[in-house]
Structures are given as structure tokens and as C-alpha cells.
Amino acid sequence: MAIDEKDVLHVARLARLEIPPERVDPMVRYFQDIIEHFRTLEKCDTEGIDPFEESGSHSCPLRDDEPEIWSYVIDALEEAPLREGRFFKVPAIDGEGDPDDLS
Amino acid sequence: MDLSFETVIGLEVHVQLATESKLFCSCPTAYIGTEPNTNVCPACLGLPGSLPSLNRRALELGVKAALALDCSVNAMTRFHRKNYFYPDLPKAFQVSQYDIPLAVSGSMPIFLEGRVKNINITRLHLEEDAGKLVHKTADGRLSGASFSLVDYNRGGVPLAEIVSEPELSSPEEAREYVLTIRRLVRYLEVSDGDMESGSLRVDANISQKCSDGRWGSRVEIKNVNSVRAMERALEYEIIRQREILLNGEEIVQETRHWDDGAGVTRSSRSKEEAHDYRYFPEPDLPPIKIDEELVKYIGCSLPELPWDRRERYIREWGLSQADSVSLSENQDVALYLEKTVAFGADRQLAANWVRTYILRLQNETGVAINDLAVGPEDLASLLVHVKQGSLSSTAAKDVLGIMFALGVKVGAAMEKSGISAGGVSRDALFETVARILEANPAETGVIIAGGDTAVRKRKYLMGLVMKEIRGQAAGEEVSAAFDAVLGSIRDRSL
């Protein structure tokens, strides 16, 4: 798959990143390098192997439904670059963005 | 050429599962009326190094709902990361399910205008909810705000997403489908199903099939926050799409947001495609083997489903559609009714009384039906009197009121109300007749004088007496009492 400027700008938009024009070209090359690396990986013979056979025969461990309060919430809030009262404060989002809009 | 259209609707219903803790961490699930960012931890804040840990109860509730929807539960299921950048997702991905959902291929009957229609269910999968954003503009609009405030209390709360096949053909069917799911999840205690508070959310996909063979693109509608809003949004969209097709134009495949105030859907600028989400298996959660025994156990412990119960009430009990719906949608109500019948009450009578009076008392007092002062046994003994004719319905209603107010049994309540099974006493009847006649001297005069309107006046006064004694005497008894009292008045006036 050939990566071009359009792909880079599209991914940047999804990631809400602004890329200065002079950075676009180097990004295209980085993207191409990454894709090239995966082409190398693709040469491995994976016939008959579950693509995500990461866990062997173990099933996911389950946790009992017992609520617990985390006692360092205030510390977490204080670590945030911006906050207002108990809210985290973030720059407004350009565009609606929330594609699944569960909120 | 006259064109006709068929509407095709598919729904995605998100149901918040009734767990105590979140899907992948132990934070409490309470987010309504809770201080912002109280129930959060490194996992649901997406802090580096935190790992998810799957809630067993959420999985079980998902299986329960899936089995009730007649789905096949997959023996192995797994979670995927759905990537998108938005501040309501601190990890920048939502843990959801993709290629192997918890359950697939179910169906659910909906009842509309006396017909049953089976709606096929594509899948049921589990996912975590996102946080909530508060946009800081005076009018609450997104545009123009310079920053947003984020509350992650809701982030990570477990949801089951139930996806229907595109088999609903009208807003009314969509409405009935959502209401049936809501009744089901409440009945199974899988969720509180409250749409207003957001425990049940719906996204609708709608398209039009035109009689000339054209098939309009599918449009997804979001931001419908009530069943009514969903119906209105679908009605609006049907008209909009048909107009486009009638003009010979193409419908744009897109996501549109419902604006409830303006009563319109608006194009959303979001253009993400499925591949933009870069779904990939959640590496921090191994695939989950669903224990066959657990599925069997949950399957066996499912109560009789509301639609089966409803069918039984119609077929075996002879109840009306309306009665059988309202009496079967809540399991506690259904059990109350069935116990009342088991204690000897007539089915139809019990159904009427539970639906009319017991449910009303439950709503008025806010006391759960199982905690009401009058239990099924008490109601049954009252209804036995009604069935035998020893208590009129009106009198029985008063007795029921006393049973509730004082928490007493039927006998004591009847004594208290001065009602004895069999009607009012002779003295009480005579006393009432005399009082009514005295209070209406003009009518009484006409009756005694035997004028043209005497018969009508007599009927009117007898009606007043009947009302006073709450119908606790037969018409002949009242008539006899009238004759006797009128006789003595006549004697007195001579």
C-alpha cells in the first residue's frame, strides 16, 4: 500500500493533530517505513495459527462485582494539566468527533 | 408514475448493565448525582500501566439478556479496541467487541395492533461506556466553547449493545421494539432500562426502498433521548428521505443528529468509517471462554419471559391484550397476580383488580408490590366475597382502601367500614332513604302527589340512595324501603 500526503492528513485529523506543512513529507516517509516493516513481518509463515493466539489456553480471569473506591482521585485530578473543581478541563474539540456519540 | 416506499429500520440499543462496579475496574457505577470524577481509578482514567479486569457479573448479565433474546452465546468471545480520539475516552479507545461478540442470532417478538412480529437480533456485545463532557458555553452548544469539562464517572460502566436486523418497518414498530427490550431488561433485572437517565440509549438506522427498485442509502440517527424522540426522528427522516428520492436525488450515507427542540435531524460532520476505528484485539484481555455449564445454569434459571407469560394470559386465562401486557411486563406484578389466583380468586377478577387498584396503590404510595400492606392472600379473600356477590365492587373497593390504610385483613376492614358481607343493614338502609327524602322535599312532594314526573323523580332519588349505600343493597330492597318510608311520611302529613 502506497502512503501519500492524503493518508497522513487523514490520520492526523482522526488523531486531532495539526501537522505543519513542512512535516507532512517526512511523515509520509515514516509511514512508508512502518508499512515496509510490516511487509517484512508478513513473510513469516502463519498458516493455521490464530492471528491473535496470544494467551495460549488460558481464559480471561474474571473479577467479582465488588465496588471499591480508589483513594487517590484528588492526586489524579491535581496531576492534570488543567482542571476546574472536580472536572478535568480540556481544550474544546474541533468538530463533533465523537463518532459513536454515546454521551 | 406513482412511487411507493417501504421503510427499513434497524436499531442499536445500548443497555446499561445493573452491576455494582464497572466493566474493567472496581469503581462503583454510580454517576447520576455523584460529584464529578469520584468513581474513577487508574484503569478508567486510562493512566499508564493500569490493566483491565473483567467483571464476572457483567458477563453473566450479558449472557442472561442474550439467552432471553434467544441468541447463541459464543463459546469463546473477546474484546477489541475501538480507537478514536475524543476526551470522553481517556485511553483514546473504547474497549468493545468486534468479530466475536458475546452472542449472535437471536430473535424477539413484538406485539402491535394484535399482531406478533418476530424481530431478528444480529448480535449482543459488551462494551464500556464513555465519560461525559460538559461544554462551556452559555447556551450549551458545542461550537464557540473554548474548552470542555470532563467527568469520567460514567467511563467504563458496562453496556450491552443489542443490534437488531433491519426488519422494523415503521416508527411504531421501532417504538414497540424498544419498549419490549426495556420491559425485558427490567423484568430480568439486567438493567433499570431508564431512557431519561441514559441507562437505555438507542441509535437508529433507517433507509427507504422505492417501488422503482431504487434503494436509498442508510442513515444513522443519533442523539434520541426518549422513545418519543426516536419516533419523531424516524418520522422526520422518512419524509426527508422520500422527498430526496422523489426529486430523483441520492441520499447521502451519513450519521445525523436529532435536534429535539427544532424537530429535525442534522448532518453530523463526523466522517469516520469502520476502518478508521482501527479495531484490533485488546491485548490486555485474553479471549474469554464462556463456561457451558454457566450458560446452561443461567438458561435454566431464566423466569418465564414476558411475551410467553402474556401469551399464556391471553390463551389460557382469556385476558384482554391490554390486561395481559400490563400484568406480564413486571415479574413481581405477574407473581402477585398468580398468587392471588392460587389463593382462590377468579382469574379475570384478580386481573382487573391487580391492574386497576393494586398497581394504582403501588404507584401512589411508591411502595413495591411485594411490600404492600395487602398481599395476594388478602386480595384473594376480598375477591372471593366479590365473586360470591356478598360484596359489591364499590363496597369491596372501600374495604380494600381500609385494608391498605390500616394494614388489616378483610374481616376487620369490613367491620371497620360498617359493611357486612351481604349488604347494609335494614336500619341503615331505612335511615339513608329517610335522609335522602328529607333532603329533597320538592322531589319527595312530587312522588307523594303522584304527578307526571313521579316515576322519574323516584328513580332519581333511588339513585342517590344507591350511591350513598355504595350499591350494597338490591334494587328491590331499596324500592321496598322507599315505599315504607314514603308511607310513613304520608301518614305523618295526614
The verdict on residue A21 lying in a domain is: yes
Nearest to B55 by CA among B94, B92, B27, B88: B27
Query: Residue B146's closest chain A neighbor by CA?
Result: A92
Interface test with A, best of B38, B85, B276, B293 (most A CBs within 10 A): B85
For B37, the closest of A58, A77, A95 (CB atoms) is A77
The verdict on residue A60 lying in a domain is: no
Convert A45-54 to b/e letters by CB count within 10 Å (16 or more is b): eeeeeeeeee
User: Quick one: average pLDDT of B36-48?
Assistant: 94
* pLDDT-based confidence at residue A97 (cuts at 50, 70, 90): very low
> Over 60: is that where the pLDDT of B136 sits?
yes
User: Quick one: average pLDDT of B317-328?
Assistant: 88
Q: At what angle do helices B331-342 and B321-328 cross, to 10 degrees?
A: 110
Answer whether A63 sits within 8 Å of B78, measured CB to CB.
no
The CA dihedral of B29, B33, B36, B38, to the nearest 10 degrees, is -50
User: Quick one: average pLDDT of B429-450?
Assistant: 87
> Over 50: is that where the pLDDT of A98 sits?
no
Q: For residue A12, give how far its alpha carbon lies from the nearest alpha carbon of chain B (Å).
A: 11
Residue B291 dihedral angles phi and psi, to the nearest 5°: -65, 120
Answer whether A87 sits within 8 Å of B223, measured CB to CB.
no
The verdict on residue A31 lying in a domain is: yes
Position B268 scores a pLDDT of: 80
The verdict on residue A3 lying in a domain is: yes
3-class SS of residue B382: helix
- pLDDT tens, position by position, A52-86: 565 556 778 899 999 999 999 999 999 999 999 99
> Could you identify the residue written with the cell 439467552?
B67
Three cell numbers at B268? 453530523
Answer whether B270 sits within 8 Å of A59, measured CB to CB.
no
For B20, the closest of A66, A76, A103 (CB atoms) is A66
DSSP string, B184-196: HHHHTTS----TT
- pLDDT tens, position by position, B233-258: 999 999 999 999 999 999 999 899 99
The verdict on residue A93 lying in a domain is: no
Q: For residue A86, give how far its alpha carbon lies from the nearest alpha carbon of chain B (Å).
A: 6
3-class SS of residue B71: coil
Interface predicted TM-score (ipTM): 0.73
Position A53 scores a pLDDT of: 61
User: Quick one: average pLDDT of B88-99?
Assistant: 94
Interface test with B, best of A9, A54, A58, A65 (most B CBs within 10 A): A65
Return d(Cα B176, Cα B172) in angstroms, integer. Answer: 6
* pLDDT-based confidence at residue B474 (cuts at 50, 70, 90): low
Residues 16-75 of A with CB under 8 A from B: 16, 52, 54-55, 58-70, 73
- pLDDT tens, position by position, B452-471: 888 888 889 988 888 877 76
Position B117 scores a pLDDT of: 94
* CATH code of the domain in which A23 resides: 1.10.20
Rg over alpha carbons for chain B, rounded to the nearest Å, is 31
Q: For residue A26, give how far its alpha carbon lies from the nearest alpha carbon of chain B (Å).
A: 22
Position B420 scores a pLDDT of: 60
The verdict on residue A98 lying in a domain is: no
Domain range for A7 is 1-43
> Over 60: is that where the pLDDT of B143 sits?
no
- pLDDT tens, position by position, B371-421: 888 999 999 999 988 887 777 777 788 888 888 888 888 888 887 776 665
Residues of A in contact with B136 (CB under 8 A): 92
Instruction: For residue B286, give Cα distances in angstroms to A60, B77, B169, B278.
Output: 5, 9, 40, 19
Residues of B in contact with A70 (CB under 8 A): 27, 40-42
**Half-sphere exposure at residue A77, Cβ-oriented, CA atoms within 13 angstroms:** 22
Q: Please, is A36 exposed, middle or buried when counting C-beta atoms within 10 Å of its C-beta (0-12, 13-18, 19+)? A: exposed
Q: For residue A56, give how far its alpha carbon lies from the nearest alpha carbon of chain B (Å).
A: 9
Position B57 scores a pLDDT of: 97
Domain total in chain A: 1
Nearest to B110 by CA among B158, B167, B66: B167
> Over 80: is that where the pLDDT of B321 sits?
yes
